[in-house]
Amino acid sequence: MTGKSEIPSPKGQVSDAVSGNWVDHHAPAWSRPYLRLSRADRPIGTWLLLLPCWMSLGLAALYTQTFGLFDLWIVVGCAIGAFLMRGAGCTWNDITDRHIDAQVARTRSRPIPSGQVSVKRALVWLAVQCLVSLAILLSFNSAAIILGFVSIIPVAIYPFAKRFTWWPQVFLGVAFNWGALIGWTAHTGRLDAPAIALYLGGIAWTLFYDTIYAHQDTEDDALIGVKSTARLFGDKSPQWLRRFLMVAVVFIGLSAISATSERSMLSLVVAVGGAWAMGMHMMWQLSRFKADDGDRLVQLFRSNRDTGLILVLFFAVAWFL
């Protein structure tokens, strides 16, 4: 006896949900399976989808030297849209992966394989999230709207990528960093080189953090034949993570330089310093990386919210200089 009473897990809780999350403890009971399907009990995915939007909007404000009331709506609209589209993407992912998820220890407790939600109801929930997201997208300019529709392609392909390539994380990066293109375009009405450089840097960042995350499932993935960069790299993962880190910092640094070339030297230094500070946080993650420590892998993955917020903060400070 330890003298400590164990608090029972809420009914239907997903195994890798954040401890004490609001969905399991405060959301109405009828809504919990659908919110779990959207990963609302694990908000890191929403952050990782949202942060490229905010990064690119901050970069666009530096580039145009303007930030107006509509840009505040872009900030809010992207936040709501990221929550909904991350939820829609996860719903689609769980529909397509329901048979695989049932064979993996970490995912068999998800709403569809555990029987909390039927495929038919999951499809309805997917449609609801997409329709509300569409309403937000239609409030942006035509260039951003077009990009928003194009983003459906990588989102639709990603769940199948692990079946035909060892690099599914590339497809995730293409989808998750699309906001780097939309945030910029929603502000400027066009695509420019800084946004593309930021997008490429974001893809490298995704390869970094999702390779870390994928190491949790290497044994189960090997048994069922699912591919990932974690399985591909194996013991060489630290070397590959270092390469992704360097590529991310270089491209994000280039985006900052090109966006601030017409601003003060101090503004340029701070913006580029954001890429450096982001890289230092990634270096800290790399120093703590242990492929066989599941709890640490999850902690490092979730810490990438702070990695992205660092860059957003530096861009915001640079705008005032």
The Cα–Cα gap between 299 and 282 comes to 13
* pLDDT for res 10: 65
Helix 193-214 and helix 304-319, axial crossing angle in degrees, nearest 10: 160
All domains of the chain, ordered by start, with CATH? 29-319 (1.10.357.140)
Q: Is the pTM of this model over 0.75?
A: yes
Neighbours of 27 (CB within 10 A): 16
- Give the pLDDT score at 98: 83
Q: Please identify every stretch of the chain with a pLDDT value under 50, giving residue numbers as ranges.
A: 1-8
Query: Given this model, what pLDDT does residue 9 score?
Result: 53
Residue 1: per-residue pLDDT: 34
CB atoms within 10 A of CB 46: 21
pLDDT value of residue 15: 66
Q: Collect all residues with Cβ–Cβ distance below 8 Å to 128 and sequence separation of at least 6.
A: none
The DSSP 8-state label assigned to residue 8 in this structure reads P
Question: What pLDDT does 266 receive?
Answer: 92
Helix (H) or strand (E) segment spanning residue 189: none
pLDDT at 321: 84
Three-class SS of residue 5?
Answer: coil
| pLDDT in the model for residue 3 | 39
Per-state percent for the chain, helix, strand, coil, to nearest 5: 75, 0, 25
CA distance 265 to 58: 17
